[in-house]
Amino acid sequence: MQKGIVLTNIQTECTALQGNKHEYASGLVACIRTECIKLRRAPIWLAFAGLPAAATLIGSANYGGNLGELTPGWEALWSQQTLFLCYFFLPALIGVGASYLWRFEHEGTNWHELMTQPVPAWCIFGAKLVVGSLFSLVALLSTTVLFCISGYVLGVPGSFPFATVVGEVTLGWCGSLAITAVQLVFSMHIRNFAAPVGMALGGGILGIVATLMGVGSVFAYSLLQVGMNPATFVTLGVHGALVLIVMSVLWVAGACLVGVKWLEHHDIEAR
């Protein structure tokens, strides 16, 4: 779709919202819809579904090849399939997704046009956050579905730990929201597509260090790792889960605040 058409869409939708008592909520919905229009025919979903598929294949092969050394079970399979995905590759992929969401705005004079849209800055940032969170949701759902299928194909002993997997994936998604929000701030500020991706990979590595140092529940890039718990597959417990959720909310809120304030105060800069 041409950029002119996209911008006309957001203008039409947002102009129609003026005067509505639910203007702000509807503004966010309009922005989310516009983000979805921008992503139409983009191959981005494929990458978020495909990388976990590669991780599943490799993890399954590793599990099958090391049954003598591993304790056979769903825990070992989960660990093999998600360990490196959560530590390095999913943060980097989230970084790529965040850069992609802002790329369109950084092109040509789109930034000026974005700033003149009749919607609050938080709606623009919030819409990108919602769409970015959908990317990680696709990746995590793909991981979960493929984990189930591969487990049954490999004949993993024991009953499927449904509640644990749902809990881990939900907490992992909460953790991924923090990474998405922080990466959106970086990608909004840095016009270079690639640089924020390097920062995401670096963040993932720092996240491991933070987890090893016992401060994994505090650092944004560790929250996904702590939530998914790929190394130990031990339930965090109610207290640990609450801490993770609270920290995720704090990181997301902090990143949104920084992002929105930056959008509000830097819109007049010549870019």
Partner 1 sequence: MSALNYGYAASKVVSSVPSAYVMGAVRLEFCKMRRKHLWLISLGLLGFQGLWLSVGSAKYLQTSSSYMALFSMMPVLNGVVFPLLCALIASTLVDIEHQAHMWKELLCLQDLRSLIGAKWIAQTLIMLVVVSVQTMGIVVGGWATIPGHDLASFGLVAQYWLSTLVPSLMLSALLQALCLVVPNQFVALSTSVSLCFLGLFIPYLLTGWSWCVPSAYFSLMSPVAQNFDTTTSVMHFSLSPFPVGPCIVAFLVSGAVLYATLHHLAHLK
Which of these, 67, 83, 127, lies nearest to 230 by C-alpha position?
Answer: 83
> Do residues 177 and 136 lie in contact, with contact meaning Cβ atoms separated by under 8 Å?
yes
- Tokens encoding 195: 């640089």
Among residues 86, 92, 121, 228, the one that binds partner 1 under rule CB under 8 A: 92
Minimum distance between the CB of residue 108 and partner 1, rounded to whole angstroms? 8
234 binds partner 1 per the rule CB under 8 A: no
Size of the site for partner 1 (CB under 8 A): 39
Nearest CB to partner 1, comparing residues 62 and 164: 62
158 binds partner 1 per the rule CB under 8 A: no
Among residues 88, 122, 173, 251, the one that binds partner 1 under rule CB under 8 A: 88
Which of these, 8, 14, 7, lies nearest to 30 by C-alpha position?
Answer: 14
Minimum distance between the CB of residue 61 and partner 1, rounded to whole angstroms? 5
d(C-alpha 93, C-alpha 112), whole Å: 28
247 binds partner 1 per the rule CB under 8 A: no
Which of these, 205, 243, 197, lies nearest to 225 by C-alpha position?
Answer: 205
Burial of 33 (0-12, 13-18, 19+ CB in 10 A): middle
List C-alpha distances in Å: 147 to 70, 93, 171: 17, 19, 17
103 binds partner 1 per the rule CB under 8 A: yes
Minimum distance between the CB of residue 97 and partner 1, rounded to whole angstroms? 8
d(C-alpha 43, C-alpha 52), whole Å: 15
Site string (185-204) toward partner 1, x via CB under 8 A: ------xxxxx-xxx-xx--
List all residues 6 or more positions away from 267 whose beta carbon is below 8 Å from its beta carbon.
115, 121
44 binds partner 1 per the rule CB under 8 A: yes
214 binds partner 1 per the rule CB under 8 A: no
96 binds partner 1 per the rule CB under 8 A: yes
Residues lying near partner 1 in the complex (CB under 8 A): 42-44, 47, 50-51, 54-55, 58, 61-62, 65, 84-85, 88-89, 92-93, 96, 99-100, 103, 106-108, 191-195, 197-199, 201-202, 205-206, 209, 212
